């Protein structure tokens, strides 16, 4: 089932759930109401809420199991989070300036992520799973720190907004703000601290993955085609299929995912030239007098054979010019197959008896030779079509029965975990309304200024700061999406 169909199915399921929920509630269907109360489920407009007290005892037991360690752990978390706050402010301000001052295609340091807009629909699963893991770890921080400081744990739960799940924990707010201010701050900072630690662990695992998988996979020695669309112009037995191992595009070495995209963009910028055998040119040349085609480019073929292309001679050596014509009409596939050497870059040097020729193409398409493990693929078309329709992996299976699916899945998941966990830490530490940062700023201002300027002015300062930051975030998101969608 593709991603669009899956989303439609989920949409229909929500519709059915909402209908029956409304129906049973209107006719006060007792077993259904009892079921909702017993399980803690609540069905809302395209969202499902679930809450339970079942984990309270476990969390309390866990929090009390090693009080000395947790005391040290969450105190360290408090100081790290307070150090992280100015860093997050600088990162946020930098991203806002980037957003408003740089061009559309430039990557912004902190950008909102919305599935379908700047997150490929195919990666929604990674996004949702990472989000639930990051929010569980975040809430676990609040819960354990609360247990440590004797703040009552009311319930834990999860809220699924369409397909995006987040966990939450409810604490006794009156008790949370009644304990010593440093302890309140420690409980509020605990979630952010856990997200920072999770992000760091994910980055370390991400960096160690190539060595961890090195028994079964070669890494950084080429790429494997992990998926290719049936409609891809390069799909097929003469083109690429799933499992092909690619080492080179023209003369550009492919050793990982980044170099694959780098080589494709290089192909787009510079048309490849090939070292063609002298005898081959002499025997296959079918050139006619030069003419200009409709788009102003030179053409030396009569157009009768579609496989023929007009090649121009590139030479840094004047003697070559005397030996060969400046233009030759040659069957592209045949001569390229016979010409393993590429001479795209100046001085266009070739082995003895071979001469550098470049095909003149009538449009912006490119000729690519893709060197695979057991074959050479020759492709005439647009490099963007190749990058769009193929998914590749930096892992090359060493054994014939392994595919790069597992390392790719773990790599992507740890990458999402690192980014989303760090993103959650930033969103929660900054003074945005209703987020942890609002309470953090309230307590910091309270500790630093209450004695000098009084409670009222403290509240005013926090109100102004949180409103400004929230407005800045809103503007940042709105301008970002405006740029993505309309510009
Ligand atoms: Zn929190």
Beta-bridge mates of residue 369: 378
**Nearest partner of 440 among 453, 454, 426, judged by Cα:** 426
Predicted pLDDT at 409: 93
* 196 within 8 A of 80, measured Cβ to Cβ: yes
Residue 166 CA to ligand 1 centre (angstroms): 11
137 CB contacts (<8 Å, ≥6 apart)?
194, 195, 198, 421
Domain ranges of the chain: 3-44, 56-210+412-485, 223-403
pTM: 0.81
Residue 205 CA to ligand 1 centre (angstroms): 25
Residue 477 CA to ligand 1 centre (angstroms): 21
Exposure letters 55-76 (e unless 16+ CB within 10 A, then b): bbeebbeebeeeeeebeebbbe
**Nearest partner of 331 among 274, 266, 385, 290, judged by Cα:** 274
* 430 within 8 A of 469, measured Cβ to Cβ: yes
Measured distance CA(293)–CA(50) in Å, rounded: 68
Measured distance CA(61)–CA(58) in Å, rounded: 5
Residue 132 CA to ligand 1 centre (angstroms): 13
Measured distance CA(191)–CA(469) in Å, rounded: 20
Predicted pLDDT at 420: 95
Predicted pLDDT at 245: 92
Predicted pLDDT at 429: 96
Q: Give the CA dihedral 240, 246, 250, 251, nearest 10 degrees.
A: 180
Residue 143 CA to ligand 1 centre (angstroms): 10
Predicted pLDDT at 401: 60
pLDDT tens digit at each of 487 positions of the chain: 566 777 788 889 989 988 888 888 888 888 888 888 888 888 888 889 998 998 999 999 998 998 999 999 999 999 999 999 999 999 999 999 888 887 666 677 788 887 767 777 778 889 989 999 999 999 999 999 999 998 988 999 998 888 788 888 989 888 888 888 999 999 999 999 999 999 999 999 999 999 998 888 988 889 999 888 888 888 887 889 888 899 999 888 999 989 999 999 888 888 888 888 888 888 888 777 777 777 677 778 877 777 788 888 887 665 555 567 788 888 888 888 888 788 877 787 788 778 888 888 777 788 888 999 888 888 888 888 888 889 899 999 887 666 888 899 999 999 999 999 999 999 999 999 989 999 999 999 999 988 888 889 999 999 999 999 999 999 999 988 888 777 6
Residue 140 CA to ligand 1 centre (angstroms): 9
Residue 456 CA to ligand 1 centre (angstroms): 26
């Amino acid at each position: 089932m593709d991603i669009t169909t899956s989303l439609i199915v989920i949409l229909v399921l929500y519709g059915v759930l909402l209908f029956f929920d409304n129906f049973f509630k209107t006719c006060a269907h007792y077993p259904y109401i009892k079921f909702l109360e017993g399980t803690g489920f609540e069905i809302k407009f395209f969202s499902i809420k679930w809450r339970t007290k079942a984990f309270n005892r476990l969390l309390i037991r866990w929090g009390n199991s090693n009080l000395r360690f947790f005391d040290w752990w969450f105190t360290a978390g408090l100081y790290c989070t307070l150090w992280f706050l100015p860093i997050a402010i600088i990162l946020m301000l930098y991203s806002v300036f980037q957003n408003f001052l740089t061009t559309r295609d430039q990557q912004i340091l902190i950008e909102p992520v919305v599935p379908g807009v700047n997150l490929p629909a195919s990666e929604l699963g990674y996004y949702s799973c990472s989000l639930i893991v990051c929010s569980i770890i975040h809430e676990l921080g609040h819960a354990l720190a609360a247990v440590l400081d004797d703040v009552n744990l009311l319930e834990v739960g999860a809220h699924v907004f369409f397909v995006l799940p987040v966990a939450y924990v409810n604490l006794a707010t009156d008790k949370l703000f009644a304990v010593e201010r440093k302890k309140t701050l420690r409980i509020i900072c605990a979630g952010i601290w856990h997200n920072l630690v999770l992000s760091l662990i994910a980055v370390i695992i991400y960096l160690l993955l190539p060595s961890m998988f090195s028994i079964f996979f070669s890494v950084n020695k080429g790429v494997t085609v992990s998926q290719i669309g049936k409609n891809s112009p390069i799909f097929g037995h003469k083109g690429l299929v799933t499992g092909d191992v690619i080492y080179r595009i023209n003369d550009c070495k492919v050793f990982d995912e980044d170099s694959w995209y780098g080589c494709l963009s290089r192909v787009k910028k510079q048309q490849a030239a090939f070292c063609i055998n002298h005898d081959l040119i002499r025997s296959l040349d079918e050139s006619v007098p030069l003419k200009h085609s409709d788009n102003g480019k030179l053409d030396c073929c009569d157009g009768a054979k579609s496989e023929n292309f007009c090649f121009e001679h590139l030479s840094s050596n004047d003697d070559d010019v005397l030996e060969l014509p400046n233009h030759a009409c040659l069957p592209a596939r045949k001569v390229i197959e016979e010409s393993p050497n590429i001479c795209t870059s100046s001085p266009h040097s070739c082995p003895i008896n071979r001469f550098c020729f470049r095909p003149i193409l009538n449009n912006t398409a490119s000729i690519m030779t893709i060197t695979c493990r057991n074959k050479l693929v020759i492709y005439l078309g647009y490099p963007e079509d190749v990058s769009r329709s193929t998914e590749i992996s930096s892992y090359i299976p060493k054994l014939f029965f392994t595919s790069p699916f597992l390392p790719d899945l773990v790599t992507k998941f740890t990458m999402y975990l690192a980014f989303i966990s760090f993103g959650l830490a930033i969103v929660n530490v900054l003074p945005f309304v209703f987020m942890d940062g609002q309470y953090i700023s309230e307590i910091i201002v309270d500790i630093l200024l209450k004695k000098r300027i009084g409670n009222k002015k403290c509240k005013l300062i926090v109100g102004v700061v949180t409103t400004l930051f929230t407005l800045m975030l809103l503007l940042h998101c709105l301008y970002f999406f405006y740029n993505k969608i309309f510009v």
